[in-house]
Amino acid sequence: MRGVTKKLSGRTRISLGALCGLLAGYAALAVAELVSAAVRPEAGPVTAVGGAAIDRTPVTLKDWAIRHFGTHDKLVLQIGILAVLAVLALLLGVLALRHRRAGAGGVLAFGVVGALAATARPDSHSAMDALPSVLGAVAGAVLLYWLVGRLPGVRPSTRRVAGGGGWDRRAFMLAATAAAAASTAAGLLGRVLNSTSERADASRAKVVLPRPASPAAPVPKAAYLQLPGLSPLFTPNSDFYRVDTALVVPKVDATTWRLKIHGQGVTAPRTVTFDDLVQGRAGELIERDITLACVSNEVGGPYVGNARWIGVRLADLLKECGVRPPSRGGPADQLVARSVDGVTIGSPVEAVLDGRDAMLAIGMNGRPLPFAHGFPVRMVVPGLYGYVSACKWIEDIELTTFAAYDAYWVQRSWSQQAPVKTQSRIDTPRTPARLKRGTVMVAGVAWAQHRGIERVEVRIDDGPWRRADLAAEDSVDTWRLWSYPWQATPGSHTLTVRATDGTGATQTEERTPTVPNGATGRHSVEVTVA
């Protein structure tokens, strides 16, 4: 007799069936990963299904995810998808014990789902995007059919029947191990190929940021304030918050990048290259310090940062294309920016052309834009939340009306118009600090982009509002650092902050949620003094 023949207990059979399912699922994803490297990294089934899930996630759940997982929200989603797939693969494996064809067919069905998701993505321009899912599923289905066939009692081959329902355990384990190893190799190779986007990397490495025709005004020394726990005036790129829908950060080759400007009232449509921007052929290069804020930021939250941007003044470019603001008879009141991954962001044309430093940014804190922050080009408009102004990986600008088109986030219940709300945050101390009596430096940031911050006040418990010491203003578009030396007394205390903007309006006490156009309310921290 060849190999070890022995009857399997029901439970062992089920475990082995489940193992076959898992291996098949693993092989399917690995092959899909490898194929996606040849097609397009974003066409992989997990990325495609994840992207579709993000687009369909109810706003409250998305907001909750951003709040709880922050920048890890996407990782959590991917792990979730993999966990669901693992369970389904186990079940298909067990099903295949009885119905080998049905099990394999189930794997193919998942391939169809992945293929549909991949080709339906807004950034999909080719039916080729179905290939990773389809080929992955075929590999998984074939493997499942074949592996399960080596288990006893599954459409037994005449030879094994002769063996008396026994099975060749060693041969099975060898086959399973070989399948796992081959899948791992394919998956890793795919990963490596997918993570190297040589052209985009090379194009970014080659960028030499131009000298701006209009440099930023020198930052007053007194605008800086350094205290332990306090945000720096400029947020380093590596610490800058990131909020977007991209499961795979788009890696765009700057040398082939193009931006198309067209639409209502665009009398001279134009396509600009990265070189046009760098050489100043698309408008004056300006350098400005602008604080960016996310509408999903809770009171006291982390989704706000300040950077020095270099870019082309958007108003110059738009005027050259013939665009006029609505107040001067222009037909379009909405500028819709579209990114390479299909996300659209709608900004008021009036705001973009009203003299503020709206720009097509190519530099962030002295470096080309990081890929995660929109390389090669993104929009920045002071005074508007990111979701209505700061399109990353921009490739198209269309002039239209708010009546005619709802941009990505607006379709998901956020407001069409969203100027940044005046906010202030206590960076130090943080709940639940335990402090020593005596002088405690309370410090933080306050922002009201394009209106400026005029005053920041701090209140201890229910006491009177006291003026904090404001660091000097860099510009009306940047946040201001502040501090307040507090004589801490023993006990539990609540410290609260409020800001007043350049128009004299004080931040409201009323608590509103982030949806639909930004949270209001005051930030406070709880501390205990011993």
Between CA 64 and CA 67 the distance in angstroms is: 5
* Residues in contact with 429: Cβ distance below 8 Å, sequence separation at least 6, in sequence order: 229, 435, 440, 442, 495, 525, 527
Q: Does 294 bind Mo ion (CB under 5 A)?
A: yes
Number of residue whose CB is nearest ligand MTE? 386
* Sheet containing 423-428, strands listed edge to edge, beginning at the edge strand earlier in sequence: 423-428, 438-447, 480-488, 469-470
What is the widest separation between alpha-carbon atoms in the chain?
93
**Cα separations (Å) of 102 from 97, 116, 417, 497?**
10, 21, 52, 63
Looking at 384, 391, 468, 495, which residue binds ligand MTE (CB under 6 A)?
A: 391
DSSP state of 528: E
Interaction residues for Mo ion, span 339-368 (CB under 5 A): none
The contact mask relative to Mo ion for 233-262 (x = CB under 5 A, - = no) is ----------x-------------------
Which listed option, Mo ion, ligand MTE, none, makes contact with residue 277 (CB within 5 to 8 Å by class)? none
CB of 448 to ligand MTE, least distance (A): 17
Nearest to 525 by CA among 229, 225, 235: 229
Instruction: Return the number of the residue (187 or 386) whose C-beta is nearest Mo ion.
Output: 386
Between CA 27 and CA 142 the distance in angstroms is: 10
Instruction: Return the number of the residue (299 or 391) whose C-beta is nearest ligand MTE.
Output: 391
Which listed option, ligand MTE, Mo ion, none, makes contact with residue 242 (CB within 5 to 8 Å by class)? ligand MTE
Which listed option, ligand MTE, Mo ion, none, makes contact with residue 244 (CB within 5 to 8 Å by class)? ligand MTE
Q: Which stretch binds ligand MTE (CB under 6 A): 97-105, 192-200, 336-344, 419-427?
A: 336-344
Q: Does 66 bind ligand MTE (CB under 6 A)?
A: no
Q: Count residues contacting Mo ion (CB under 5 A)?
A: 5
Looking at 387, 393, 408, 484, which residue binds Mo ion (CB under 5 A)?
A: 387
Between CA 91 and CA 337 the distance in angstroms is: 44
Backbone angles phi, psi at 131, to 5 degrees: -55, -50
CB of 385 to ligand MTE, least distance (A): 6
Q: Which stretch binds Mo ion (CB under 5 A): 62-70, 161-169, 381-389, 491-499?
A: 381-389
CB of 372 to Mo ion, least distance (A): 14
Looking at 66, 230, 278, 343, which residue binds ligand MTE (CB under 6 A)?
A: 343
Angle, CA 40 vertex, CA 21 and CA 180 arms, to 5°: 25
* End-to-end alpha carbon distance in the chain: 81
Nearest to 28 by CA among 112, 101, 95, 96: 112
The residue with tokens 């060749």 is 168
CB of 394 to Mo ion, least distance (A): 15
Which 3 state secondary structure label does DSSP give 266?
A: coil
CB of 401 to ligand MTE, least distance (A): 21
Instruction: Return the number of the residue (99 or 242) whose C-beta is nearest ligand MTE.
Output: 242
**Cα separations (Å) of 342 from 7, 65, 258, 390, 416?**
56, 22, 15, 14, 18
CB of 352 to Mo ion, least distance (A): 18
Instruction: Return the number of the residue (241 or 486) whose C-beta is nearest ligand MTE.
Output: 241
Interaction residues for ligand MTE, span 290-329 (CB under 6 A): 292, 294
Angle, CA 479 vertex, CA 478 and CA 480 arms, to 5°: 120
Nearest to 205 by CA among 240, 254, 135, 243: 254
Query: Residues 383, 389, 392, 398: is their CA dihedral positive or negative?
Result: negative
Q: Are 474 and 481 in contact (CB under 8 A)?
A: no
CB of 403 to Mo ion, least distance (A): 24
Q: Does 371 bind Mo ion (CB under 5 A)?
A: no
Please report, as a single letter, which amino acid is at residue 69: F
Which listed option, Mo ion, ligand MTE, none, makes contact with residue 339 (CB within 5 to 8 Å by class)? ligand MTE
Interaction residues for ligand MTE, span 116-135 (CB under 6 A): none
Interaction residues for ligand MTE, span 371-390 (CB under 6 A): 373, 386-387, 390
- Residues linked to residue 486 through DSSP beta bridges, in sequence order: 440
CB atoms under 10 Å from CB of 479, counted, come to: 30
The residue with tokens 């009546």 is 403
CB of 403 to ligand MTE, least distance (A): 23
Q: Which stretch binds Mo ion (CB under 5 A): 154-162, 173-181, 384-392, 485-493?
A: 384-392
Number of residue whose CB is nearest Mo ion? 294
The contact mask relative to ligand MTE for 223-262 (x = CB under 6 A, - = no) is -----------------xxxxxx-----------------
Backbone angles phi, psi at 404, to 5 degrees: -85, -25
Q: Interface with Mo ion by CB under 5 A: which residues?
A: 243, 294-295, 386-387
Q: Interface with ligand MTE by CB under 6 A: which residues?
A: 240-245, 292, 294, 339, 341, 343, 345, 373, 386-387, 390-393
